[in-house]
Amino acid sequence: MADDATPIAPTPIAPPQYETDEPVLYEVRGAVAIVSMNRPKFGNAQNNQMTYALDAAFMRAAHDDAIQAIVIKGEGKNFSAGHDMGTPGRDAHVPIEARRSPWYNSTDKPGAEQLYVREQEIYLGMCRRWREIPKPMVAAVHGACIAGGLMIAWISDFILASDDAYFMEPALHMGVPGVEYFAHAFEMSPRIAREFLMLGEKMNAQRAFDVGMVNRVTTREALDEDAIAIAEKLATRPRFAMALAKQALNFVEDLRGKRSAMDGVFAMHHLAHAHNAMTTGTIIGGQTPASMKALNKDQA
Ligand code: ZN
Protein backbone atom coordinates (compact mmCIF):
# COMPACT_ATOMS: atom_id res chain seq x y z
CA MET A 1 0.00 0.00 0.00
CA ALA A 2 1.35 3.47 -0.85
CA ASP A 3 2.06 5.77 2.06
CA ASP A 4 -0.79 8.11 1.19
CA ALA A 5 -3.36 5.35 0.61
CA THR A 6 -6.39 5.60 2.88
CA PRO A 7 -7.75 2.24 4.05
CA ILE A 8 -11.48 1.79 3.48
CA ALA A 9 -13.13 2.39 6.86
CA PRO A 10 -15.56 -0.07 8.45
CA THR A 11 -19.22 0.50 7.49
CA PRO A 12 -20.93 2.56 10.22
CA ILE A 13 -23.64 0.53 11.95
CA ALA A 14 -26.85 2.12 13.27
CA PRO A 15 -28.30 0.63 16.47
CA PRO A 16 -31.26 -1.67 15.71
CA GLN A 17 -34.83 -1.05 16.85
CA TYR A 18 -36.17 -4.48 17.79
CA GLU A 19 -39.93 -4.92 17.46
CA THR A 20 -39.97 -7.96 19.78
CA ASP A 21 -37.97 -9.57 22.59
CA GLU A 22 -39.04 -12.99 21.36
CA PRO A 23 -37.90 -13.43 17.75
CA VAL A 24 -38.13 -17.20 18.23
CA LEU A 25 -40.79 -19.18 20.12
CA TYR A 26 -40.05 -22.51 21.81
CA GLU A 27 -42.72 -25.03 22.71
CA VAL A 28 -42.50 -28.63 23.88
CA ARG A 29 -45.03 -31.24 22.82
CA GLY A 30 -44.06 -34.58 24.39
CA ALA A 31 -40.66 -35.50 22.93
CA VAL A 32 -40.89 -32.83 20.20
CA ALA A 33 -39.52 -29.28 20.43
CA ILE A 34 -41.37 -26.80 18.21
CA VAL A 35 -39.17 -23.86 17.26
CA SER A 36 -40.93 -21.01 15.50
CA MET A 37 -39.49 -17.93 13.82
CA ASN A 38 -41.47 -15.02 15.23
CA ARG A 39 -41.06 -11.82 13.22
CA PRO A 40 -44.36 -12.11 11.30
CA LYS A 41 -44.50 -8.35 10.68
CA PHE A 42 -41.36 -8.70 8.55
CA GLY A 43 -41.99 -12.09 6.96
CA ASN A 44 -39.69 -13.69 9.55
CA ALA A 45 -36.69 -11.91 8.06
CA GLN A 46 -33.62 -13.20 9.87
CA ASN A 47 -31.71 -10.56 11.83
CA ASN A 48 -28.89 -11.51 14.21
CA GLN A 49 -31.31 -11.32 17.12
CA MET A 50 -33.31 -14.13 15.47
CA THR A 51 -30.23 -16.11 14.39
CA TYR A 52 -28.86 -16.27 17.93
CA ALA A 53 -32.32 -17.01 19.35
CA LEU A 54 -32.63 -19.85 16.81
CA ASP A 55 -29.24 -21.15 17.86
CA ALA A 56 -30.24 -21.00 21.54
CA ALA A 57 -33.51 -22.84 20.80
CA PHE A 58 -31.81 -25.53 18.69
CA MET A 59 -29.11 -26.09 21.34
CA ARG A 60 -31.76 -26.23 24.07
CA ALA A 61 -33.53 -28.98 22.11
CA ALA A 62 -30.24 -30.72 21.30
CA HIS A 63 -29.10 -30.77 24.92
CA ASP A 64 -32.45 -31.77 26.47
CA ASP A 65 -32.60 -35.58 26.78
CA ALA A 66 -36.41 -35.46 26.85
CA ILE A 67 -36.45 -34.03 23.29
CA GLN A 68 -36.05 -36.52 20.42
CA ALA A 69 -37.09 -34.45 17.38
CA ILE A 70 -37.41 -30.79 16.36
CA VAL A 71 -39.92 -28.92 14.20
CA ILE A 72 -38.89 -25.58 12.68
CA LYS A 73 -41.66 -23.32 11.39
CA GLY A 74 -42.62 -19.66 10.95
CA GLU A 75 -45.32 -17.46 12.50
CA GLY A 76 -47.64 -15.41 10.28
CA LYS A 77 -48.02 -15.57 6.51
CA ASN A 78 -44.55 -16.82 5.57
CA PHE A 79 -41.88 -19.31 6.59
CA SER A 80 -39.06 -16.82 5.97
CA ALA A 81 -38.43 -14.00 3.52
CA GLY A 82 -34.66 -14.48 4.00
CA HIS A 83 -31.95 -12.48 5.68
CA ASP A 84 -32.92 -9.12 7.11
CA MET A 85 -32.03 -6.52 4.48
CA GLY A 86 -33.59 -3.43 5.97
CA THR A 87 -36.13 -3.74 8.78
CA PRO A 88 -35.70 -1.43 11.80
CA GLY A 89 -34.37 -4.50 13.64
CA ARG A 90 -31.52 -5.12 11.21
CA ASP A 91 -28.41 -5.61 13.32
CA ALA A 92 -24.93 -6.17 11.99
CA HIS A 93 -23.20 -6.29 15.36
CA VAL A 94 -22.65 -9.58 17.16
CA PRO A 95 -21.17 -9.25 20.67
CA ILE A 96 -17.97 -11.27 20.83
CA GLU A 97 -19.27 -13.33 23.77
CA ALA A 98 -22.29 -14.42 21.69
CA ARG A 99 -20.17 -15.89 18.87
CA ARG A 100 -20.41 -19.60 18.24
CA SER A 101 -17.65 -20.05 15.65
CA PRO A 102 -13.93 -19.39 16.18
CA TRP A 103 -14.15 -16.33 13.91
CA TYR A 104 -13.25 -13.05 15.56
CA ASN A 105 -15.30 -9.88 15.85
CA SER A 106 -16.26 -8.59 12.39
CA THR A 107 -17.89 -5.29 13.22
CA ASP A 108 -14.85 -3.04 13.39
CA LYS A 109 -12.97 -4.58 10.45
CA PRO A 110 -12.37 -2.72 7.16
CA GLY A 111 -13.03 -3.61 3.53
CA ALA A 112 -14.07 -7.13 2.55
CA GLU A 113 -12.89 -8.55 5.88
CA GLN A 114 -15.95 -7.30 7.76
CA LEU A 115 -18.50 -9.15 5.67
CA TYR A 116 -16.40 -12.27 5.13
CA VAL A 117 -15.90 -12.77 8.88
CA ARG A 118 -19.51 -11.83 9.65
CA GLU A 119 -20.97 -14.34 7.16
CA GLN A 120 -18.58 -17.12 8.24
CA GLU A 121 -20.12 -16.81 11.70
CA ILE A 122 -23.80 -16.04 11.20
CA TYR A 123 -24.60 -17.77 7.90
CA LEU A 124 -22.22 -20.55 6.90
CA GLY A 125 -21.08 -21.37 10.43
CA MET A 126 -24.56 -21.38 11.97
CA CYS A 127 -26.10 -23.46 9.17
CA ARG A 128 -23.36 -26.08 9.39
CA ARG A 129 -23.72 -26.17 13.17
CA TRP A 130 -27.50 -26.69 12.94
CA ARG A 131 -27.16 -29.35 10.24
CA GLU A 132 -25.04 -31.36 12.67
CA ILE A 133 -27.56 -31.43 15.52
CA PRO A 134 -27.84 -35.19 16.20
CA LYS A 135 -31.64 -35.15 16.39
CA PRO A 136 -33.99 -35.17 13.41
CA MET A 137 -35.42 -31.84 12.31
CA VAL A 138 -38.62 -31.28 10.29
CA ALA A 139 -39.16 -27.97 8.48
CA ALA A 140 -42.83 -26.96 8.08
CA VAL A 141 -42.78 -24.46 5.19
CA HIS A 142 -45.67 -22.23 4.17
CA GLY A 143 -45.90 -19.01 2.17
CA ALA A 144 -42.56 -17.56 1.12
CA CYS A 145 -39.30 -19.43 1.59
CA ILE A 146 -36.78 -17.09 -0.02
CA ALA A 147 -32.94 -17.02 -0.06
CA GLY A 148 -31.90 -17.17 3.62
CA GLY A 149 -35.22 -18.98 4.23
CA LEU A 150 -33.98 -21.77 1.99
CA MET A 151 -30.96 -22.19 4.25
CA ILE A 152 -33.17 -22.92 7.27
CA ALA A 153 -35.25 -25.42 5.28
CA TRP A 154 -32.17 -27.07 3.76
CA ILE A 155 -30.46 -27.80 7.10
CA SER A 156 -33.55 -29.83 8.10
CA ASP A 157 -33.88 -33.60 7.59
CA PHE A 158 -37.43 -33.38 6.30
CA ILE A 159 -39.12 -30.56 4.41
CA LEU A 160 -42.89 -30.58 4.59
CA ALA A 161 -44.53 -27.84 2.51
CA SER A 162 -48.10 -26.57 2.45
CA ASP A 163 -49.66 -26.21 -0.99
CA ASP A 164 -49.39 -22.39 -0.76
CA ALA A 165 -45.62 -22.50 -0.19
CA TYR A 166 -43.09 -21.29 -2.74
CA PHE A 167 -39.31 -21.35 -2.87
CA MET A 168 -37.15 -18.72 -4.53
CA GLU A 169 -33.46 -17.86 -4.89
CA PRO A 170 -33.15 -14.23 -6.09
CA ALA A 171 -29.40 -13.94 -5.35
CA LEU A 172 -28.36 -13.14 -8.93
CA HIS A 173 -30.47 -9.99 -8.84
CA MET A 174 -28.32 -8.95 -5.87
CA GLY A 175 -25.13 -9.64 -7.81
CA VAL A 176 -24.13 -12.77 -5.87
CA PRO A 177 -24.07 -16.39 -7.11
CA GLY A 178 -26.49 -17.84 -4.52
CA VAL A 179 -26.96 -17.83 -0.75
CA GLU A 180 -24.02 -18.42 1.59
CA TYR A 181 -25.01 -22.02 2.36
CA PHE A 182 -24.65 -23.25 -1.23
CA ALA A 183 -26.63 -26.50 -1.15
CA HIS A 184 -28.61 -25.88 -4.36
CA ALA A 185 -27.15 -28.73 -6.40
CA PHE A 186 -27.57 -31.12 -3.45
CA GLU A 187 -31.19 -30.19 -2.81
CA MET A 188 -32.18 -30.75 -6.43
CA SER A 189 -30.47 -32.07 -9.52
CA PRO A 190 -27.72 -29.81 -10.93
CA ARG A 191 -29.92 -29.32 -14.03
CA ILE A 192 -32.86 -27.99 -11.99
CA ALA A 193 -30.49 -26.09 -9.68
CA ARG A 194 -29.24 -24.15 -12.71
CA GLU A 195 -32.79 -23.09 -13.52
CA PHE A 196 -33.64 -22.28 -9.88
CA LEU A 197 -30.50 -20.17 -9.42
CA MET A 198 -30.04 -18.63 -12.87
CA LEU A 199 -33.67 -17.68 -13.57
CA GLY A 200 -34.48 -17.03 -9.91
CA GLU A 201 -38.15 -17.72 -10.44
CA LYS A 202 -40.64 -18.93 -7.85
CA MET A 203 -40.88 -22.70 -7.47
CA ASN A 204 -44.20 -23.79 -6.04
CA ALA A 205 -44.62 -26.58 -3.49
CA GLN A 206 -45.72 -29.19 -6.03
CA ARG A 207 -42.74 -28.54 -8.32
CA ALA A 208 -40.42 -28.55 -5.30
CA PHE A 209 -41.83 -31.97 -4.46
CA ASP A 210 -41.50 -33.15 -8.08
CA VAL A 211 -37.82 -32.16 -8.24
CA GLY A 212 -37.07 -33.87 -4.92
CA MET A 213 -36.40 -30.87 -2.67
CA VAL A 214 -39.56 -31.35 -0.59
CA ASN A 215 -40.54 -34.63 1.09
CA ARG A 216 -44.29 -34.13 1.23
CA VAL A 217 -46.97 -31.55 0.41
CA THR A 218 -50.01 -30.98 2.57
CA THR A 219 -52.66 -28.28 3.08
CA ARG A 220 -52.02 -25.02 4.92
CA GLU A 221 -54.52 -26.05 7.60
CA ALA A 222 -52.86 -29.41 8.22
CA LEU A 223 -49.23 -28.27 7.94
CA ASP A 224 -48.32 -27.80 11.60
CA GLU A 225 -50.05 -30.96 12.82
CA ASP A 226 -48.62 -33.04 9.96
CA ALA A 227 -45.10 -31.78 10.72
CA ILE A 228 -45.53 -32.56 14.41
CA ALA A 229 -46.88 -36.03 13.53
CA ILE A 230 -43.74 -36.79 11.48
CA ALA A 231 -41.55 -35.48 14.31
CA GLU A 232 -43.47 -37.60 16.85
CA LYS A 233 -42.87 -40.68 14.73
CA LEU A 234 -39.15 -39.86 14.39
CA ALA A 235 -39.02 -39.34 18.17
CA THR A 236 -39.97 -43.00 18.75
CA ARG A 237 -36.87 -44.32 16.94
CA PRO A 238 -33.81 -45.36 18.99
CA ARG A 239 -31.88 -42.20 19.85
CA PHE A 240 -28.35 -43.37 19.07
CA ALA A 241 -29.28 -45.15 15.84
CA MET A 242 -31.11 -42.00 14.73
CA ALA A 243 -28.10 -39.81 15.54
CA LEU A 244 -25.81 -42.17 13.64
CA ALA A 245 -28.19 -42.34 10.66
CA LYS A 246 -28.20 -38.56 10.46
CA GLN A 247 -24.42 -38.44 10.77
CA ALA A 248 -24.11 -41.12 8.08
CA LEU A 249 -26.26 -39.20 5.60
CA ASN A 250 -24.37 -35.97 6.30
CA PHE A 251 -21.14 -37.93 5.80
CA VAL A 252 -22.31 -39.27 2.42
CA GLU A 253 -23.25 -35.75 1.29
CA ASP A 254 -19.84 -34.45 2.35
CA LEU A 255 -18.10 -37.31 0.52
CA ARG A 256 -20.06 -36.19 -2.54
CA GLY A 257 -18.42 -32.80 -2.07
CA LYS A 258 -21.05 -30.76 -0.25
CA ARG A 259 -18.71 -29.29 2.35
CA SER A 260 -15.83 -28.49 0.02
CA ALA A 261 -18.16 -27.15 -2.69
CA MET A 262 -19.63 -24.77 -0.11
CA ASP A 263 -16.19 -23.58 0.95
CA GLY A 264 -15.28 -22.84 -2.68
CA VAL A 265 -18.56 -21.10 -3.48
CA PHE A 266 -18.38 -19.08 -0.25
CA ALA A 267 -15.17 -17.51 -1.59
CA MET A 268 -16.92 -16.71 -4.91
CA HIS A 269 -19.86 -15.27 -2.96
CA HIS A 270 -17.47 -12.87 -1.20
CA LEU A 271 -15.63 -11.97 -4.39
CA ALA A 272 -19.08 -10.94 -5.67
CA HIS A 273 -19.94 -8.93 -2.52
CA ALA A 274 -16.60 -7.11 -2.78
CA HIS A 275 -17.06 -6.50 -6.53
CA ASN A 276 -20.55 -5.12 -5.88
CA ALA A 277 -19.23 -2.79 -3.19
CA MET A 278 -16.51 -1.53 -5.54
CA THR A 279 -18.80 -1.01 -8.53
CA THR A 280 -22.16 -0.03 -7.02
CA GLY A 281 -21.34 1.05 -3.46
CA THR A 282 -23.52 -1.70 -1.98
CA ILE A 283 -22.71 -5.35 -1.34
CA ILE A 284 -25.94 -6.42 -3.06
CA GLY A 285 -25.47 -4.77 -6.43
CA GLY A 286 -27.44 -1.60 -5.76
CA GLN A 287 -30.60 -3.44 -4.74
CA THR A 288 -32.69 -2.21 -1.80
CA PRO A 289 -35.36 -3.98 0.28
CA ALA A 290 -37.98 -2.09 -1.76
CA SER A 291 -36.53 -3.07 -5.15
CA MET A 292 -36.29 -6.71 -4.06
CA LYS A 293 -39.90 -6.66 -2.84
CA ALA A 294 -41.01 -5.23 -6.19
CA LEU A 295 -39.11 -7.99 -7.98
CA ASN A 296 -40.88 -10.59 -5.89
CA LYS A 297 -44.28 -9.04 -6.69
CA ASP A 298 -43.51 -9.03 -10.42
CA GLN A 299 -43.36 -12.78 -10.29
CA ALA A 300 -46.68 -13.33 -8.51
ZN1 ZN B 1 -23.59 -12.76 1.63
pLDDT in tens, 262-286: 999 999 999 999 999 999 999 998 8
Q: Classify residue 7: in a domain, yes or no.
A: no
Q: Classify residue 13: in a domain, yes or no.
A: no
Domain span at 182: 24-298
Report every protein residue that has its C-beta within 5 angstroms of ion ligand 1.
119
Residue 123 Cα, ligand 1 centroid: separation in angstroms? 8
Strand 144-146 to 166-168 pairing: parallel
Q: pLDDT, tens digit, for every residue of 216-246?
A: 999 999 999 999 999 999 999 999 999 999 9
Q: Classify residue 2: in a domain, yes or no.
A: no
Which CATH number covers residue 240? 3.90.226.10
Ordered DSSP codes for 42-81: GTT-B-HHHHHHHHHHHHHHHH-TT--EEEEEESTT-SB-
Q: Classify residue 196: in a domain, yes or no.
A: yes
Instruction: Count Cβ atoms below 10 Å from residue 216 Cβ, excluding itself.
Output: 13
Rg (CA), the chain: 19
Q: Classify residue 123: in a domain, yes or no.
A: yes
Residue 269 Cα, ligand 1 centroid: separation in angstroms? 6
pTM, 2 dp: 0.94
Q: Classify residue 18: in a domain, yes or no.
A: no
Residue 273 Cα, ligand 1 centroid: separation in angstroms? 7
Number of folded domains in the chain?
A: 1
Of the candidates 39, 65, 32, the one whose C-alpha atom is nearest the C-alpha of residue 53 is: 39
Q: pLDDT, tens digit, for every residue of 44-71?
A: 999 999 999 999 999 999 999 999 999 9
